[in-house]
Structure 1
Amino acid sequence: MSNNNQGKLQKRESLKATIWQIVNDICNEEADELNVIPTHQFIASLVELVYKQAEMFATNLENFANHANRSTITINDVKLCSRRNDELNTHISEFANSIIEQRATRSSKRE
């Protein structure tokens, strides 16, 4: 295996380990409230689901930017990815607007 492939594999495994920890923490919090015990297989399935969703999201972002002949992903690409989830789209739009307002405030203070 080449160093490049090995590096990618290590990054992927590190990302999955991080996702595992977060999903496990969330499952345990919810399990306490619901008085249930999540199985190892259940958590592993959720981790795989989250990882695949993130991969698909990243691929879509790259494709949207490429389609617009850009090498940089913009907030509009992110909004486009979230278009089927109204709540997420609203949250992203509000967050983007707050960033724009912060930048405008900073630039007006400099002048």
Structure 2
Amino acid sequence: MRKDRQQHYNVSKTYSRNFQLKVNKKVELRHIYLMKMDDSDAQKQRLKAAIHYTVGCLCQNIASDCEKQITKQTIAAIAETAFRQCDIFAKDLEAFARHAKRHTVTVDDVKLTARRTTALSNYIQQKSEELALNNQELKEKRKKTAAKRKSKDMEPVEDKEGED
């Protein structure tokens, strides 16, 4: 009997070791899976959370203004729709830039993406014109300051020649 108990003990001991190894392997594999989870997937989840938070804040503001309530399901649906639309916009922008054999997305690409929505297209056109005006004003200011610096740099040279 003693041998039977010892064998049983050895078998159960082996079984528990194997089970423990299997459990450890499962935990380890899960940990590795989480570690190997693409940074893009993790980033995607963070973006979804940020969009959901922002949509929630916007809905709260609108609900308080209108004295109505918006359900969590509605907020989640709006957030998911917004995320999917942003994903579509991003793919369109990449496609337009790639089609033009560029690696950089330009304002024209953004205008092309927004062309389907009239209000958005008008808004982007207006902002584009404002940016163009601001850039032009900055360039003119830079030219003026560069010209002033250049004239100041030239003056001391002339004074030094006159002193000799």
Alignment TM-score, normalising by the size of structure 2:
0.62
Shift of 1:15: 0.9
Higher relative contact order (CA 8 A, sep 6+): 1
Can you give the 5+ residue segments of structure 2 that lack an aligned partner in the other structure?
Answer: 1-32, 144-164
The 5-angstrom pairing of residues 12-51 of structure 1 reads: 12-51=44-83
The 5-angstrom pairing of residues 25-104 of structure 1 reads: 25-104=57-136
Q: Which amino acid aligns with 1:87?
A: A
Distance 1:85 1:51 in 2: 17
Check 1:107–1:61 CA distance in 2 against 1; reply closer, same or farther (3 A cut): same
Shift of 1:64: 0.6
Q: Give the paired residue count.
A: 111
Q: Mean alpha-carbon deviation: is it higher for 101-110 or for 28-37?
A: 28-37
Distance 2:90 2:60 in 1: 28
Shift of 1:33: 3.1
Distance 1:53 1:98 in 2: 26
Distance 2:53 2:76 in 1: 11
Q: Mean alpha-carbon deviation: is it higher for 7-16 or for 71-80?
A: 7-16
Largest Rg, 1 or 2? 2
RMSD: 1.7
What SS does the aligned partner of 1:73 have? coil
Q: Which amino acid aligns with 2:42?
A: Q
Can you give the 5+ residue segments of structure 1 that lack an aligned partner in the other structure?
Answer: none
Shift of 1:2: 7.7
Check 1:27–1:109 CA distance in 2 against 1; reply closer, same or farther (3 A cut): same
Identity, % of aligned pairs? Answer: 31
- Structure with the bigger percentage of helix: 2
Check 1:19–1:59 CA distance in 2 against 1; reply closer, same or farther (3 A cut): same
